[in-house]
A and B are shown apart, each in its own frame.
Chain A
Amino acid sequence: MKYAFFPGCIAKNVYPGIEKATRLVSAKLGIDLVDYEYSCCPPPGVIACYDKDSWLTLGARNLSLSEKDNHDIMTICAGCYGTLHNVWHTLKQDQDKMEFVNEHLSRIDTEYKGNIRPVHFVDLLSKMRDEIKQNKEIDLDFRVAVHYGCHYLKPSDVTGENSEAPKILDEIVSLLGCESVPFKDRLTCCGAGGGVMSGEPDLSLKIIDRKLKNIEKADVDCIINICSFCHMNFDQSQKKLHAYDIPVLHLNQLLGLAFGFKHKHLGLHTNLVSTRDIVKKVKGAKRESMK
């Protein structure tokens, strides 16, 4: 199984542990990742809000890169997924936009045909449950708060997901031995999107403060996400708010732990919020499983 790997700015340039975890976990699961000269997705909330047509064009450039090799493009961030999937969906339906995009791409001798599909890593995982179980070395007995990321779920007429009661992420963490703990407003936005995190940091912090309060009440070991952008917001905001102490892990890092990779190889130690307790628990679980 071969996929063009779209790591996205945050996993590459801010939380490289997520990129590393993805490479390690993919190799275990037999997924070959191919790298291309991608640019930023670009972000749905910022660039699309400035000029939607430019956003479509830059997204289409990214999509076009693996077309010649016929590799579908795999993302690990709800934001990148939202952009690439939405661009793919829009251009499939709108001939005028397709012409606009290709007119611009032709200036750099590129063409977008629409032959490959963007997928989120979690969708691949949902079809590899047996492989996940086979590769699991440690049963992670964590209580986790899962966070899907808005642009993975919505708009549902484009994504095809059930935005009010999604299950995939809950099911995958439970395969690893974790309990997905229900908490108030578990599906609401983390407050990072739409340019709000950078443009209106105070508002963004208010939104995530509420979210973190609800998660704290649920008494979990960590937050598990499938969006590098939300990941960044969850980790950084706890420091900005000078409150909370809830470790933040991307799903792929959690998979990495369950597959037996060392936490330092997964970059857990580079988070702002300490992951020490998580690591301790993993070590305990490892000793359990070796008995």
Chain B
Amino acid sequence: MEEKTVESIVNEGRAYACIQCGKCTGSCPSGRECGLRTRKVIHMARLGMDIYKTEELWDCTTCYTCQERCPKDVKITDIIIELRNMAVKNSFYPTMAEVPKIIIQNLYSTGNGQPLSPEVSKIRSIIGLNKEPLDASTNKDTLKKFQKLLDGLPLMQWGETQ
């Protein structure tokens, strides 16, 4: 697969069709509380600016309301996700991307983004569930294979460059 550029992301997500009507920003639940201006993100991407370097990109909750309502059918949320991928690839980790890194570490060591704590394990058995659920971490061989899969994926490479 070819390396993505801001230009290819703009084309794939049809951002060239944007008429800057702002319906996206007006619909954004996050933008009401912070500096994210979805319309501006799309405009900057269209102009070929390094939008992936801005921190606002990480204010999006990926709720898809903007994309849903865009009269020009611009794939706005998909574009934001691609731009985040690009930021990560170029090592532009904003401070708020630190915590998700822990989720990746959890994923690697337990197969779960949210691992099981001893407290919840106890609750599980109290309410009549297996103390530990069957999942990718139950069986050592399965976990090893899962980690082998992760080891070869781009996700882990970016984790290391940071």
The residues of A with any CB-CB pair to B shorter than 8 Å are 7, 9-10, 12-14, 16-17, 19-20, 23, 35-40, 42-55, 57-58, 61, 96-97, 100, 104-105, 107-108, 110, 150-151, 153-156, 163-164, 185, 188-189, 191-196, 198-200, 203-204, 206-207, 210, 264-267, 270
Contacts and interface: CB of A to CB of B under 8 A. Distances in A.
A54 B85 CA distance: 11
Q: How many B residues touch the partner, as a band?
A: 35 or more
Interface string B96-122: 111110111001000111111100100
Nearest to B84: A49
A14 B124 CA distance: 10
Nearest to A54: B155
Nearest to A96: B1
A39 B146 contact: yes
Contact of A19 (B60, B65, B133): B133
B67 A154 contact: yes
Contacts of A264: 127
Contact of A58 (B32, B75, B149): B149
B116 A50 contact: no
Nearest to B139: A37
B72 to A, nearest CB: 14
Q: Select the residue from A14, A37, A105, A151 with max chain B CB neighbours within 10 A.
A: A37
Contact of B153 (A57, A151, A153, A270): A57
Contacts of A58: 149-150, 153
B25 to A, nearest CB: 14
B30 A207 contact: yes
